[in-house]
Amino acid sequence: MKILILQTARFGDILQTFPVINSLKRSKENIEIHYLARERFSSILDLNSNIDKVHILDSKSILEPIIMSPFEEGYDDGTDKALEALQTTLDQLTEENFDHIYNLSFSPMTSYFTHYLCQNSTNTQSFGYTRHQDGFLDFSEDVSAYFYAQVGVGGQNRVHLTDLYATMLGLDYTEQDWQLPLQKDVELTDFNLPNNYIAVHISASQEQKTLNAKQWTEILKANSQLPKFVLLGTKEESPLAEEIAKQADVINLAGRTDLKQLTEIIRQAKGFIGSDSLPMNICSFTHTKCYNISFNSVRFWETGPLSKHSYIRCFNTSKDVDLDLIQKDLSAIFNNAQLPDKLFYYNGNELTQRYTSKANNYDFSWELIKAIYMEEKFPIIDDMNLYAFAEKIGSLIHIIVENLNFAKQSQMNDSHLNIITECETLLHKIGVACRPFRPLINWIYTEKIKIPPGDVDQILERTLSTYNQAAQVMKIYLGEKIHEPVDLVE
């Protein structure tokens, strides 16, 4: 079997696909694994020997003609050059005639690649985002639809990306799949590392996902009783590291390591401290104890570290960071003391949260997701404001169902269509305003996207089925009151 894995995002996103690669190679006989990645981030694939062939998506040659053309003499929009570069890549992939394509980017852009390759190859089956025959977005299986509806910024998902991949592809990970081979050719002696040290990555994939130099300096100085801190980072991050090193007693290796050296430094460390980044993800494969400083803009449930001794402290933004609390966390973690309140930690099976009070980690929206997708019990509404939103949602769904039924009995006219469109607009606005019920509204929208091209009656029937299922959910909360009108403007 020959398969192609697509992941066109960054280093950390590619690393998250390694358990898939390792599991496939371990469990499937005679499997040939190809990988498509952007050139800028493809070097990390050198860390996984289970990949048989790497294909490069040269995004520069595709995008540069379009971006630079307006600034060139004799203006040409550059579209032809860009399409030619893209076509060359697609033709090379088509010639491979893959049996399966796993689009792990979950990207609308790569859905066109998946669709093209399946249309131009023989008996190729795709998993992940693809396209309907009419060009609209499609999901080849349920996990992709779940991802679109519930994962990412604004979503309430609490399933890690690696577990979503496994569910989509029917894989069962073992410890063997969570390994990065020891880089035997790597030499670290020139770095003069002490026997006992804690690695610190002082940056992240995005600037708003980490701390500034002053914050890092205060944290490191306040925890000087811990093993020596070793700063890690890219060449671009060197100025930040140098500013910290002027004020704190650290070893500064920012800009001095390649990927293989970085991996071995993290593997040999007593622990790791950092934000959302590739080095943090590496800890899951080197089984290094780590402390992740995270923020609400990051979905740590989905991309956070999974080494057995992983700890996560989440703040709203970098401006809200409590440096005293971080000091308490680090002292407890590296001295094996009792963990502070509300600190997330991975116990080897699941991510949970430490509570020393009667408070709990109950989240209505996450419980609603589990009820919709995982056949668990529906959560209880114990707030009158939330119940008022439920009444509005129920009323809108009831109006939509009524008008769909009218249209089914006769013929869809502009009046029915306008009412349905207006109700769907209001549902969207409620989804933005009411986080707890957002999963249900996202589910409705995604189920509609899944409807394939067809005649009016077929599309109408599928749309009606979707809203009838949503109505059944709202009846759990409203009973027959779902049929009663409410003030939608209030």
Q: Which of 207, 268, 270 is nearest to 233 (CA)?
A: 207
371: Cα within 13 Å, side-chain hemisphere:
20
Token representation of residue 188? 């670290």
How many C-beta neighbours within 10 Å does residue 382 have? 9
Q: What is the pLDDT of residue 77?
A: 63
CB 490 within 8 A of CB 468: no
Of all helices (H) and strands (E), which one includes residue 116?
helix 108-119
pLDDT surpasses 60 at 486: no
Q: What is the pLDDT of residue 60?
A: 79
According to DSSP, residue 319 is labeled: G
pLDDT surpasses 90 at 280: yes
pLDDT surpasses 80 at 357: no
User: pLDDT exceeding 90 applies to what percent of the chain?
Assistant: 74
| Residue 56 burial by Cβ neighbours in a 10 Å radius (0-12, 13-18, 19+) | middle
Q: Quick one: average pLDDT of 13-26?
A: 97
189-353: in CATH 3.30.1370.60: no
Strand-pairing partners, residue 344, are: 312, 353
Q: Quick one: average pLDDT of 258-266?
A: 96
pLDDT surpasses 50 at 358: no
Of all helices (H) and strands (E), which one includes residue 374?
helix 364-374
Under CATH, which architecture does the 2-174 domain have? 3-Layer(aba) Sandwich (3.40)
> What radius of gyration, in Å, describes the C-alpha atoms of the chain?
26
Q: Give phi and psi for 119, each to the nearest 5.
A: -75, -25
Q: Give phi and psi for 133, each to the nearest 5.
A: -60, -25
| pLDDT, tens digit, 9 for 90 and up, residues 106-162 | 999 999 999 999 999 888 999 999 999 999 999 989 999 999 999 987 889 999 999
Q: Which residue has the higher pLDDT, 105 or 318?
A: 105
